[in-house]
């Protein structure tokens, strides 16, 4: 899991980066429910963010105006945003689908990724687009990834609208499709164990990393650093969110069976699962050894293997601290 911090200006972007944020997500909290920042603000931040980090753009809740939205997406591509998020609240599914398809077309020739977004609390609004359709919508519109967020400001958060088990299913399905998966929505430090069990690629926050714990105050680097530290503790297994650690036995002898190694170092969970799925699809006879540097991804791979009726033969840590898992298709 990597940390995305929502910022409104260059000062907040610098505070987020100083605190260890992996992504600064530029948005405008004063425009409607949530809207887009001015292009000059996006450009200023994009020019200042080091290439090793990401600077994304949120368009917020977009109108049912396909040309207008795709033009805004095109502008994000011209500004070299890492990604652009297009969100839907009250909208027909087919309109949202066509909007995202037009947005994808508008990004041709750029390196900007398209992220479709729905809000967990959509159904409290008449005509709200069901967030349960997020993976289907992202797949059919050829998005590079998706985000589920919230809009309510009454103290409720993501988990008040969608249970952990359902979010886990959606995230795993997104990873199997090779998409990036992101969760946000008034998340706090107290939600980290649940988040870690769901294990999205990206965790998005704002209020939790503001100076007063209030999303309308300013992002503060010390709050970002504290949140990032706790997130990393769960990723490495220092904080065991499952209550038990995975043991491991010595690997069995190969016995003449072909042995394929998939090195997940430097890959996110979606990349590891995609590589495994492709390998097993092309060759369901060879034993596959996968190297997993992130302990949380282990649980996702176990779920993937169980879902697809593959056998996990062993799990053990190597000298570098990575987990090596043997899978028999």
Task: Give the CA distances from residue 92 to residues 29, 149, 256, in Å, rounded to whole numbers and listed in that order.
Answer: 25, 18, 56
Catalytic one of 85, 104, 228, 267: 85
Q: What is the rounded distance in angstroms from the CA atom of residue 90 to the CA atom of residue 96?
A: 10
27 is catalytic: yes
Cite the DSSP H helix spans in 250-322: 269-282, 295-307
Element (H, E) at 73: helix 66-78
* Distance (Å) of CA 228 to CA 4, 16, 62, 270: 10, 10, 30, 21
Which among 14, 18, 27, 317 is annotated as catalytic? Answer: 27
CA 197 to mean position of chain CA atoms = 13
Catalytic, 85? Answer yes
Q: Look up residue 194 and give its two tokens.
A: 């649940």
Residue 25 phi/psi, 5-degree rounding, is -110, 115
- Residues assigned a catalytic role: 27, 85
């Amino acid at each position: 899991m990597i940390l995305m911090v929502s910022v409104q200006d260059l000062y907040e972007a610098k505070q987020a980066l100083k605190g260890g944020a992996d992504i600064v997500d530029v948005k405008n909290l004063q425009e409607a429910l949530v809207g887009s920042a001015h292009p000059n603000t996006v450009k200023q931040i994009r020019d200042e963010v080091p290439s090793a980090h990401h600077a994304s753009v949120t368009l917020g809740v977009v109108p049912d105006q396909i040309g207008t939205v795709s033009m805004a997406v095109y502008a994000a591509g011209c500004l070299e945003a890492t990604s652009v998020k297009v969100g839907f609240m009250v909208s027909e599914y087919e309109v949202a689908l066509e909007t995202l398809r037009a947005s994808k077309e508008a990004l041709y020739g750029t390196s900007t990724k398209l992220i479709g977004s729905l809000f967990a609390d959509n159904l409290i609004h008449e005509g709200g687009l069901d967030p349960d359709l997020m993976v289907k919508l992202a797949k059919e519109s050829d998005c590079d990834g998706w985000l589920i967020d919230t809009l309510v400001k009454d103290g409720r958060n993501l988990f008040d609208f969608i249970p952990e088990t359902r979010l886990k299913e959606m995230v795993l399905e997104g990873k199997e499709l090779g998409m990036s998966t992101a969760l946000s929505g008034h998340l706090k430090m107290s939600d980290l164990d649940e988040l870690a069990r769901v294990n999205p690629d990206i965790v998005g926050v704002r209020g939790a990393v503001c100076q007063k714990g209030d999303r309308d105050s300013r992002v503060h680097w010390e709050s970002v650093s504290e949140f990032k530290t706790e997130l990393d503790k769960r990723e490495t297994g220092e904080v065991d969110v499952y209550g038990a650690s995975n043991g491991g036995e010595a690997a069995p002898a190969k016995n003449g069976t072909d042995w394929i190694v998939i090195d997940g170092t430097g890959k996110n969970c979606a990349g590891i699962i995609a590589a495994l799925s492709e390998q097993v699809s092309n060759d369901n006879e060879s034993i596959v050894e996968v190297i997993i540097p992130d302990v949380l991804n282990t649980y996702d791979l176990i779920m993937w293997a169980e879902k697809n009726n593959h056998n996990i033969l062993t799990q053990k840590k190597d000298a570098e601290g990575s987990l090596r898992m043997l899978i028999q298709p």
